[in-house]
Structures are given as C-alpha cells and as structure tokens.
C-alpha cells in the first residue's frame, strides 16, 4: 500500500469515527430532551397535585 | 560416577538450552516487574504480563505454542489434548488453553463488561458534545497507521499499531489478536506501558498546545443525570453503534451490558461480580497469556523497537487531536469549555481525566476539571472501540481496494 492510499484509508477511518460519534451526540441530545421534558411534566403534575391537597 | 550424573543433569536442565534471547527476555521481565511493583506502572496488568514473559522464556518450559494459533486457524485438537497429535508426545500447554480467550477475543470483551460496570456515563450524558473530543483523540490512530505503512508494515499490522493511540488496552488486544496476532506482545506491552506513563507524556503537550488564559477557564458544574437517562443511553449507544458497525458488537455490547448492570439498580450482585471478581480473574488470564506470547526469538526484533516508538507517537498525536477539538469547542462555546479536558479523550480511564484535573489546577487552584474531563474520557472508550470496529470491518475492503 502506498502512502497516498494509506492517507485516504486513515482519513476514511477518522471520518467514520467522527460520523458515528456525531450521530451519538445527536441521539443523546434528543433522548435527553425527551426524558427531561417528561420528568419536568411529571414533577409539575405532582406539584399541582400536592397544591390541591 | 557423580560427575557423569551431574553432567547429565546439567545437559537436561534449562541452563544447557538457554539462548541469549531467552536471557534478555528474562531480564526484560524482571525490569517490567520492577516497574510494576516499585514504580506502580499499571501493576494490575503489568505484574501478570511480566510473569508471563518470565515463564514463557524459561528454556524447555513449553508453556505456549504459537504454531497452534497461526493465522486465523487454531489447532484445537493439539491445544485441548495438550500434546502434538501427529508426534504423539506430550508438550504441556497450560497457556495454550488460556490463550484461546485472547485468540477468540473473549477476554477483552469480558474486561469491557467490567469497565462498563465501573464507569459512570453521567458526565458524558450531561455534556454530549464531549463525544467529539473522544473522536478527535483518535487522531493518533490515523497518524501512527500512516507512519507504520511508510515504515513497511502491512495494513493489518499498521492498524494494530495505530490502535495503541486509542489508549485502550482491551481494544488494542482485541484488534491485534484478529489482525496481527504475531505482534500481540509488543503492542500490548507498549499500550499498557504508555497508559501508565500518561502523567508524564500528556502534561508537556497540554501546556504546549494551550495558552495560560485557556488553562485557567473554570467550567460550570454539570447538571445531574437521572437513572432513566443512563439506562436509555446504554441502550441507544448499543443500538446505534452495532447497527452502524456490526463488528463492534462484542466490545460495545459488553461495555453497555456492564453499564446496564450498574445503572439499572436491580442486579447489584451481577454488577459487583463483573466489576470485581470477573474482571480480576480475566485480567490475570489476559495478562499472563499476552506476556506468554513475548517469546524471545520473535520479540527481540527491530520491529518491536519500531512498534514501541510508534506507540508513543500514537499517544502524543491522540492527545494533540483531543486538545485541538477542545480548543475549537472552547472558541465555539464562547470560552466556557476548558480545552484541557480534550486530552482526556484518549480513554485510559480515569488516568487521563486526572491529568486534565492536575494540569488545570496547577494553572488555577480553584479549577475542578475532573468530572468535566470524565465526559471525553469515557467518550474515548467508545471512540476507540468504534475505530477498532471500523478498522476491522472496513479494513479488509479498503486495504484490498488500494
């Protein structure tokens, strides 16, 4: 394997690593937002319930 | 008569068959034992590795037979019967049986399960942008790969050498046992030695790459992360990584299984076993057998020196890669992120995060970067596993096409 091909291979591997981790970043942001939203709603409902008593 | 008996005894002893390579390897094993016991350089791994090196180089010990594991083929009958079936002579082979766990990629995955059970992914979930630093810190893998190719190593060997830059012992062993098993001993020893030397390797690079103004940046406390988020994280990482790269299924799968044990809160016994008893047992087997592959005739070759140097290059460039991403994120966040946490992206949990903390606190005594650095640090574990999976799954196709 010559140096040019090796450079392309190395760049390709780094590209895949970055792509997978960026996708994970996006996925974590989305599920965190959903879970935090649910938890906020739940605590707001509980607070409203306690106020009613 | 007694003289003849003594001569005969000496002839059949190990002294008569001792080669200079065996003698040098025994000396190396003693140095490694010294570094592990006295200097405390990764002692949990280095003590069994050093003793494995010692045992395997004892003349006539016949503890391991690498011929049984050449290429992708395993001579299972010989391994299991403890004898050469063609010759019919018993040939020992305790380590032949233990080495199956390395050859089949079992030990690194079990260690990953233990690592998962010991790791809190909370800091990473609280600041998911840390994942990019974990990706940047794999830069050393690409650099060492390129230099190894230019030095004449084959693509498979270069991949195995490059993965030292991931600073992740089990991943390095996993990849090397599949792609270049003949280089397992020098790569494992280089990986674990440099991981132990992180407090010496990283700080000069960190100071060189950052300004005083950047090093003093104090970061806001991370938000608390709920149990539900941590459980969802383990499931989502497993799904996404394995769907994208099936070759990482065993590494990432075991890492996240260990983490689920830890976070779900209903299998405390399993979590305890995985992060204590199991990981300790597997560490003994892994260390001993990796050390046992360091047979003098193979290990004492010019390529070992090249691998040791390339390993250092890989570590240094991985640190640089993490710091560059850290600096970019510092700018993008308006100076809210201290770039020193980027160097922790090289895995080596939690040593690299501790180094970020120490260097940050030297610049500003009120700086507490440890928890912030744990984010890129655990991201690096995922990043190096992804890099290994990419090299394994795409390597064959890519390398063949060039």
Please state at what angle helix B198-209 crosses helix B302-332, rounded to 10 degrees: 40
With an 8 Å Cβ cutoff, are B402 and A35 in contact?
Answer: no
Query: B interface toward A at CB cutoff 8 Å?
Result: 124-125, 128-129, 131-132, 134-135, 138-139, 141-143, 145-146, 149-150, 154-155, 158, 162, 226, 228-229, 232-233, 236-237, 240-241, 244-245, 379, 382-383, 386-387, 390-391, 394-395, 398-399, 402
Neighbours of B4 (CB within 10 A): 8
Whole-number Å distance between alpha carbons of B348 and B197: 11
Q: Which residue of A has its CA nearest to B134?
A: A21
Q: For residue A49, what are the contacts with CB-CB under 8 A and spacing of at least 6?
A: none
pLDDT tens digits for range B279-301: 999 999 999 998 998 888 888 99
Domain boundaries, chain A: 24-53
Which chain A residues are within 8 Å of B226, Cβ to Cβ? 35, 39
Residue of B nearest to A29 (CA): B128
Average pLDDT over residues B157-179: 93
Which of A18, A20, A22 would best serve as a mutation to test chain B binding (most B beta carbons within 10 A)?
A20
Q: What is the pLDDT of residues A3-40, one digit of tens each?
A: 888 899 899 999 999 999 999 999 999 999 999 998 88
Percent of chain B with pLDDT over 70: 94
d(CA B263, CA A33): 20
Q: What is the pLDDT of residues B82-140, one digit of tens each?
A: 655 556 555 657 888 899 999 888 999 999 999 999 999 999 999 999 999 999 999 99
Mean pLDDT of A33-49: 86
Q: What is the predicted pLDDT for the residue at B317?
A: 96
Residues B87 and B61: their CA atoms lie apart, in Å, by 18
Give the largest CA-CA distance in chain A. Answer: 76
Average pLDDT of the segment spanning B298-317: 93
Band of residue B5 on the pLDDT scale cut at 50, 70, 90: confident
B257, pLDDT greater than 80: yes
Q: Which pLDDT tens digit goes with each residue over B40-93?
A: 888 888 899 999 999 999 887 777 877 777 766 777 777 776 655 556 555 657
pLDDT of residue B23: 93
Contacts of B125 in chain A (CB under 8 A): 28, 32
pLDDT of residue B207: 96
CB–CB contact B135 A7 (8 Å) = no
**Mean per-residue pLDDT, B345-368:** 93
Q: What is the pLDDT of residue B101?
A: 92
DSSP H or E segment with residue B89: strand B89-90
The per-residue pLDDT for B92 is: 53
How far is it, in rounded angstroms, from Cα B277 to Cα B288? Answer: 17
- Give residue B176's pLDDT band: very low, low, confident or very high (50, 70, 90): very high
User: What confidence tier does B395 reach under pLDDT thresholds 50, 70, 90?
Assistant: low
Give per-residue pLDDT as tens, B179-198: 998 899 899 989 988 888 89
- pLDDT over threshold 80, residue B152: yes
B32-40 average pLDDT score: 92
Q: Can you count the helices (H) and strands (E) in chain A?
A: 1, 0
Can you give the pLDDT at residue B151? 94
B220-256 pLDDT, tens per residue?
999 999 999 999 999 999 999 999 999 889 999 999 9
pLDDT at B258 over 80: yes
Burial class (CB within 10 angstroms; exposed 0-12, middle 13-18, buried 19+) of B169? buried
Query: In angstroms, what separates the C-alpha of A36 from chain B's closest C-alpha?
Result: 9
Give the pLDDT confidence score for residue A47 in this predicted structure: 82
Give per-residue pLDDT as tens, B7-25: 887 777 878 888 899 999 9
Q: Which is higher by pLDDT, B3 or B37?
A: B37
Which residue is closest to A7 within chain B, CA to CA?
B146
Contact flag A13-B387 (C-beta cutoff 8 Å): yes
Residue in A closest to B159 by C-alpha: A10
Chain-chain contact of A13 with B141 (C-beta, under 8 angstroms): yes
The answer, for A10 touching chain B at a CB cutoff of 8 Å, is yes
Mean pLDDT of chain B: 90
Confidence class for position B352, pLDDT limits 50, 70, 90: very high
């Amino acid at each position: 394997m010559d140096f040019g091909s090796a450079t392309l291979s190395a760049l390709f591997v780094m590209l895949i690593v970055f792509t997978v981790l960026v996708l994970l970043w996006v996925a974590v942001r989305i599920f965190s937002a959903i879970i935090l939203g649910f938890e906020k709603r739940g605590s707001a409902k509980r607070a409203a319930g306690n106020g009613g008593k | 008569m007694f003289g003849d008996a003594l001569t005969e005894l000496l002839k059949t002893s190990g002294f008569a068959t001792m080669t200079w390579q065996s003698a040098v390897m025994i000396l190396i094993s003693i140095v490694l034992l010294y570094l592990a016991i006295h200097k405390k350089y990764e002692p949990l791994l280095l003590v069994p590795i050093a003793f494995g090196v010692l045992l395997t180089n004892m003349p006539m010990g016949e503890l391991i037979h690498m011929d049984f594991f050449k290429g992708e083929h395993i001579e299972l009958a010989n391994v299991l019967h403890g004898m050469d079936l063609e010759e019919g002579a018993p040939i020992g082979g305790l380590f032949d049986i233990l080495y199956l766990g390395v050859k089949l990629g079992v030990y690194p995955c079990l260690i990953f399960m233990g690592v998962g059970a010991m790791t809190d992914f909370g800091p990473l979930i609280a600041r998911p942008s840390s994942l990019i630093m974990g990706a940047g810190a794999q830069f050393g893998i690409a650099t060492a790969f390129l230099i190894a190719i230019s030095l004449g190593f084959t693509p498979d060997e270069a991949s195995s050498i490059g993965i030292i830059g991931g600073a992740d012992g089990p991943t390095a062993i996993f990849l090397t046992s599949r792609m270049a098993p003949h280089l397992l001993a020098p790569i494992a020893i280089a990986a674990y030695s440099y991981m132990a030397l992180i407090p010496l390797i990283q700080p000069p690079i960190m100071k060189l790459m950052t300004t005083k103004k950047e090093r003093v940046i104090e970061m806001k406390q991370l938000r608390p992360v709920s149990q539900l988020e941590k459980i969802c994280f383990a499931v989502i990482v497993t799904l996404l990584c394995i769907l994208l790269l099936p070759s990482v299924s065993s590494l990432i799968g075991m890492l996240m299984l260990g983490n689920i044990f830890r976070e779900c809160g209903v299998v405390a016994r399993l979590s305890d076993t995985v992060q204590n008893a199991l990981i300790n047992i597997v560490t003994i087997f892994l260390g001993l057998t990796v050390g046992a592959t360091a047979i003098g005739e193979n290990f004492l070759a010019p390529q070992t020196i090249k691998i040791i140097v390339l390993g250092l290059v890989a570590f240094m460039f991985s640190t640089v890669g993490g710091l560059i991403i850290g600096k970019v994120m510092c700018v993008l966040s308006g100076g809210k992120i201290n770039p020193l946490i980027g160097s922790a992206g090289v895995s080596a949990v939690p040593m690299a995060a501790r180094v970020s903390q120490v260097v940050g606190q030297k610049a500003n005594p009120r700086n507490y970067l440890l928890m912030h650095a744990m984010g890129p640090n655990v991201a690096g574990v995922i990043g190096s596993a992804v890099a290994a999976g990419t090299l394994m799954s795409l390597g064959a196709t890519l390398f063949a096409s060039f």
